[in-house]
Structure 1
C-alpha cells in the first residue's frame, strides 16, 4: 500500500487547514458560553455571525470583547 500521500506537501497543507479551522471553531464555541454565563442574550443573527466566522483573529477579538460587552451585538460591532 502506497502511503506517500500522507507525507506529501499537499497532505500537510490539508492537515494545517483542518487545524486552523478547528481552532477557529473552538474560539467561536468559546464566545457563546462566556455571554451566556454573563446573562447576555444572544440573538440568532449574532449567534450565526459568530459561528460562521472563520477568521481566527476576528474571533479572538470577539472573545476578548465578550468578557466586557454589555450586549451580544457589541461583540461584532465594527470599531
Structure 2
C-alpha cells in the first residue's frame, strides 16, 4: 500500500508526466499555427472556404502548417496555400 502512495514520485511516473506535457505543448503549437494560417488569410481579406478551414485544422504536422503560413502572406486565394511552390 505504501508503494502506491508514493508512485507519483517514481521516475517512471515523472517520465510519463513529462511525455504528456510535451505532447500537450506540441498539440498547442500545431493548433496555434493552424489558427495563424487562417487568421493571416482572413486579415488579408481572403475568403476561407469550409474545405480549406477543415484541411488546415485537420493537419497535425508543423511542417506543412509552417509552409502554409509563409504562403498565406502572399496568397491571392486560400487554395494557394496548397498549390503555390516556394
The TM-score, its normalising length taken from structure 1, stands at: 0.87
Query: Which residue of structure 1 lines up, in the alignment, with residue 56 of structure 2?
Result: 50
Secondary structure of the corresponding residue to residue 72 of structure 1: coil
Bigger relative contact order (CA 8 A; separation at least 6): 1
Q: CA deviation at 1:77?
A: 2.8
Secondary structure, aligned partner of 1:54: coil
Q: Which stretches in structure 2 are left out of the alignment for 5+ residues?
A: none
Considering only aligned residues, what root-mean-square deviation do their CA atoms show, in Å?
1.9
1:70 counterpart residue number: 76
Segments of 4+ moved more than 3 angstroms: none
1:20 aligns with 2:26: yes
The TM-score normalised by the length of structure 2 is 0.81
Q: Does 1:32 align with 2:44?
A: no
Rounded Cα–Cα distance in structure 1 between residues aligned with 2:81 and 2:70: 9
- The answer to whether the 8 A contact 2:71-2:84 is kept is no
Give ranges in structure 1 of 5+ residues lacking alignment: none
